[in-house]
Structure 1
Amino acid sequence: MGRGRHAGYDDQREMILERAAALFARGGYPGTSMNQVAEACGLSKATLYHYYRDKYELLVSIADGHVSRLQGIVDDALAQEKTPQGQMRVLIRRLVEEYASAQNEHRVLTEDVKFLQPEDRERILGKERDMVAAFARVVAALRPDLKEAAMSKPLTMLLFGMVNWMFTWMKPQGALAYEDMAPVVADLFLGGLQAVQVPAREAAAVG
């Protein structure tokens, strides 16, 4: 009878994925070795293989896990709010929060997905397309007059452009945090520049 998994097995797997994602994000999937992953995790290579059979399995797990979490966020937001405007605000807030703590995973999803085998790539990109389609449906509900012009998806992609790469210019110790920026993005997307409100923390500092 085989030995069962120890109590910290899942936590260890998550730690490995986190360290591997950081390495992939910094050096690219092809440029990262299992030796480097093992060293970053403080594990022997033999122990690392106990959790993941190879580097490719790490890539699949990182990309699939990230996009699955995003799907869950979308599903929760749509169930939580009933109005399109409420749904959009929650979607933006939850997405910004997720990206704040998953920058490496997002880089892997966007930059290293091309190294996935066709079946895995199609499955993962299919989940990503489903998430984008859910956003586009909310956009269409907000502006049904744009449906015939097929503008829902382009507007959705413009929104993702604001959110997806925020971490490339946001400073960890800057004046604004991710939770400050989420309502700014929502205001800008829903009402234009004139609708943007100064974040509470900045307003308090000015006052």
Structure 2
Amino acid sequence: MTAGADHTALQRQQEAGAGSGTPAAPRRRGRPRLASPEDYRARITHAARQLFLERGYAGLTMDSVAAACQISKKTLYQFFASKVSLMASVVDAHRLMILALPGDYSALSPEDALAAIFRIDLGCIEATASIELLQRISEEARNSPELRAIVREIGSDVSQRLLAEWLDGEQAAGRLVVPDSTALAYLLMSIVYSPLISSRSGCVSTPHGTARQTYLRGAFRIIVDGIRPRP
């Protein structure tokens, strides 16, 4: 299969997956718009995510991803040099789904900004999907040093750094007093994510849906109240 044929196959998948119950837009005359490299990378990343959920990290192979995308391995390697880089793309996309940073939250109170940053008001389907992937990544990383390194370098370390930078910005603006932004970022991430990971094993009972939103908003309020500037 040639690269051009591969791109056509991927584009057909995009068009087939775009159906959402809404009427299709009128077809434009002339040549159809070719999907960008970013579109193809996103489509491949999505396929890798689904295969990872189904088969785990060991079962995720470049062969299986190429087959799922109906492209050749040669074309796949044009977008991702290795399984590690492909899984890094999955982890990075997931990080953006659960932590909306960088971003401008200056118009919000610190507690509302934290709620927006941690995206606690995600819709049910999107929230369930993000939690499922978080739990599976945590499970698989226990048995894979390679995956642990990817999660640390692309996921948790980046998230903690970005959150610490936002906290530093809040302190610089005079809205919060944060003696150690890195430690506070770690604490906030633990409050939000650790119960979700632990609940998979049945060790911890954690609230879901609106109960989780209420719980987290309350936790953010308590933390922010403790680090507000005092008169």
Change (3 A) 1:52 1:91: closer
**1:66 matches 2:94:** yes
Q: Check the 8 A contact 2:134/2:197 in 1, yes or no.
A: no
Residues 109-164 of structure 1, C-alpha deviations (whole Å, 9 max, x = no match): 544484159699546543122145357779999996x969x9844355123335x5
Equivalent residue number for residue 190 of structure 2: 157
Counterpart selection for 1:53 from 74, 81, 92? 81
**1:7 matches 2:40:** no
Q: Percent identity?
A: 19
Change (3 A) 1:190 1:128: closer
Name the stretch that deviates more: 34-43 or 182-191: 182-191
More helix by share: 1
Deviation of 1:11 after TM superposition, in Å, equals 1.8
Spell out the pairing of 1:183-194 with structure 2 (5 A cutoff): 183-190=213-220
State the distance in 1 between where 2:216 and 2:159 align: 21
**1:87 matches 2:113:** yes
State the distance in 2 between where 1:119 and 1:103 align: 18
Counterpart selection for 1:106 from 134, 139, 145? 134
Q: Check the 8 A contact 1:103/1:167 in 2, yes or no.
A: no
State the distance in 2 between where 1:51 and 1:67 align: 20
- Scaled by the length of structure 1, the TM-score of the pair is 0.57
Change (3 A) 1:50 1:147: closer
- Scaled by the length of structure 2, the TM-score of the pair is 0.52
Q: Which runs of 5+ in 1 are unaligned?
A: 170-176, 193-207
Aligned residue pairs: how many? 176
Equivalent residue number for residue 204 of structure 1: none
State the distance in 1 between where 2:215 and 2:104 align: 16
Equivalent residue number for residue 164 of structure 2: 133
State the distance in 1 between where 2:183 and 2:38 align: 43
Q: Which runs of 5+ in 2 are unaligned?
A: 8-32, 202-207, 223-231
Name the stretch that deviates more: 13-22 or 104-113: 104-113
State the distance in 2 between where 1:137 and 1:130 align: 10
TM-align CA RMSD: 4.6
Counterpart selection for 2:51 from 7, 10, 23? 23
Change (3 A) 1:128 1:36: same
**1:75 matches 2:106:** no
